[in-house]
Amino acid sequence: MSGQKENNRSSIISLYESQHNEKDMVNSHHHYTHQILYTLEGEGTCILSEQQHEIARDNYIIIPPLTEHSIMAKSKMTILVLEFDTGVLSDDVQQQLIPTVFQKARVQKLSTFDSSELRQLLRKMLYEQSHGDRFWEMALKVYMTELLFTIARSYQETPQVDTNTLRVERLRHYIDTRYFDIKNAEDIANRMGMSKRYMQSIFKEYNDITPMQYLTEVRLGLVKQLLVETEKDIVSICFEVGFESLSTFYRLFKKHIGVPPNMYRKTQRG
């Protein structure tokens, strides 16, 4: 089996590509580090602690330290191997995310949204590992934390929730946490892996407003809070919450709140 390990500059967080031909076999072995394997392409089987699992595109494999595991490729297969020492991560990550993600060895399929998130984070980590500036080691730790958080959050999904409800919840969560860098509805739809029309349809069905209308509500709610609780100038607040244009910000604020931002600040502090 051909597992090509690239020249990584970090011995603490290591990410590399492992390529396998059909019927290739990785014999049973274990590691002292934590590992997450992500299947980019192909199909195969994985044996974790003597239990066999099917693996396919966008499956990830959680391998806690000292877990015996082996892999057999059913077709040409490409896997990203992420290996790391938890000691480089923050105390919160070590105490909360690591026990959640690595509570047991498993093979799991991510939702379309989470799969897109994970791929994006892995791409960023590969880039930093190869081309990063003097902050590349810090960047790896940040992306590593985001990746663990994405996986830990996915464990909270309950099978009783129907697919559209789950998608709408993920939409709301994405807007709640990424309100500052969303450009338009197409941007959200692409990240969710669905069409703009379908996304707007299911979101409006559950919330009576479109995703972009909800985004405006989230941003304006934060603006009101920042106007009252901080001394930041209005231009800085506009930029911080994600508005691209000051004129658009003033127009939307007055339309939804009834008064200009500076008047709102004076009134609320009055």
Provide the CATH topology of domain 213-269: Arc Repressor Mutant, subunit A (1.10.10)
| pLDDT score of 6 | 42
Write the CATH number of the domain with boundaries 13-154: 2.60.120.810
Q: Structural domain boundaries of the chain? A: 13-154, 163-210, 213-269
Low-confidence residues of the chain: pLDDT under 50: 1-11, 158-160
For residue 83, what is the enclosing H or E element?
strand 77-84
| pLDDT score of 156 | 66
Give 19-56 as a DSSP string: EE-TT-EEEEE--SSEEEEEEEE--EEEEETTEEEEE-
User: 123-163: per-residue pLDDT in tens?
Assistant: 889 988 888 788 888 999 999 999 999 888 877 654 445 67
Q: How many CB atoms lie within 10 A of CB 103?
A: 12
85 contact partners, CB below 8 Å, separation of at least 6: 12, 13, 33, 34
| pLDDT score of 97 | 93
| pLDDT score of 131 | 81
Q: Is 120 exposed, middle or buried (0-12, 13-18, 19+ CB in 10 A)?
A: middle
User: 213-240: per-residue pLDDT in tens?
Assistant: 999 999 999 999 999 999 999 999 999 9
